[in-house]
Copies of this chain bind each other. A is one copy, B any other.
């Protein structure tokens, strides 16, 4: 074995976390608030950290602090270190029996139709796991997983990132949904104003929304009105009331209470096909709880085939 050479340039986690708080909030005062302490304290620790590293991490100006180059280079390590530390204690606690907390993220649509049976199955098999589900647009889910806030998430593909492991979960057929009175796409195009119908979609970061934008461009409605909704039921309700059109997985519409009040318009495969992926962090230890979750997911593969 190589003799261990002592480079004493290590830095404690708590130091780098106060650093990250200052960087995030852009000021010592707000960081102190966030960390439940006083400014003077934060000042001191930042100064100590800068002394330890030997470079200024922030530029001070009268309205707060901004990162220097060195600070920018350091920042990404804050999250990685925090995630690693958390993962370490989880790994130690995890005796192979799935239990404890498990945070899963999901797109709204997947949560509505695909997850209920899966979660029921999971809870039946692993009742000791305290599962929490959070719905967000795909973009937020990806960062959530990368930053360790979520253990895994269901997102719309394709996704490619070196630090993520991707598992194919479900295949969906997207359909354009309009009010019932429009029996076909042709009728819809004929019956709407030149600029097109209003596009109903979730907020930015949702992959379906981006795809809807594309489709609108191809239909010659580049400047159609946009309307953002926060909930699935709200969206289908608005479509039923002929406020506009939206893009959703066929299964979601079919299972909706308003199913009878809307028409689904099939799209070309390139537009319609979308794969729902389950993503998790690649690095290091996989929680038993997460492992159990994946086993439920793959066991239900027949659902995908069907």
Q: Interface of A with B (CB < 8 Å)?
A: 1-2, 4-5, 7, 9-14, 16-17, 52-55, 57, 69-71, 73-74, 77, 80-82, 84-95, 101, 103, 105, 134, 136, 140-141, 143-144, 149-150, 283-285
| Bound form: Cα–Cα A174–B74 in Å | 45
Partner of A84, one of B77, B91, B103, B143: B77
Number of copies: 2
Given the known interface contacts A7-B86, A84-B81, A89-B9, the answer about A2 and B73 at a Cβ–Cβ threshold of 8 Å is no
Contacts of A54 in B (CB 8 A): 93
Partner of A92, one of B13, B57, B81: B57
| Bound form: Cα–Cα A86–B88 in Å | 17
| Bound form: Cα–Cα A77–B285 in Å | 10
| Bound form: Cα–Cα A141–B1 in Å | 9
Closest CB in chain B relative to A135 CB, distance in Å: 11
Closest CB in chain B relative to A188 CB, distance in Å: 36
| Bound form: Cα–Cα A134–B95 in Å | 40
Asked if residues A84 and B92 are in contact (CB atoms below 8 Å), the reply is no
- A selection of 13 A-B contacts at a CB cut-off of 8 Å is A2-B149, A5-B103, A5-B149, A10-B13, A10-B82, A10-B85, A11-B88, A13-B85, A53-B89, A74-B88, A81-B85, A81-B88, A84-B84
| Bound form: Cα–Cα A285–B75 in Å | 12
Asked if residues B91 and A87 are in contact (CB atoms below 8 Å), the reply is no
* 7 nearest CB pairs, A to B: A77-B88, A74-B92, A10-B85, A2-B144, A70-B92, A73-B91, A9-B89
User: What residue of chain B has the Cβ atom nearest to residue A5's Cβ?
Assistant: B149
Contacts of A7 in B (CB 8 A): 86, 101
Partner of A2, one of B9, B10, B101, B143: B143
| Bound form: Cα–Cα A16–B2 in Å | 21
User: What residue of chain B has the Cβ atom nearest to residue A96's Cβ?
Assistant: B69
User: What residue of chain B has the Cβ atom nearest to residue A77's Cβ?
Assistant: B88
Closest CB in chain B relative to A196 CB, distance in Å: 31
Contacts of A141 in B (CB 8 A): 2
| Bound form: Cα–Cα A2–B134 in Å | 9
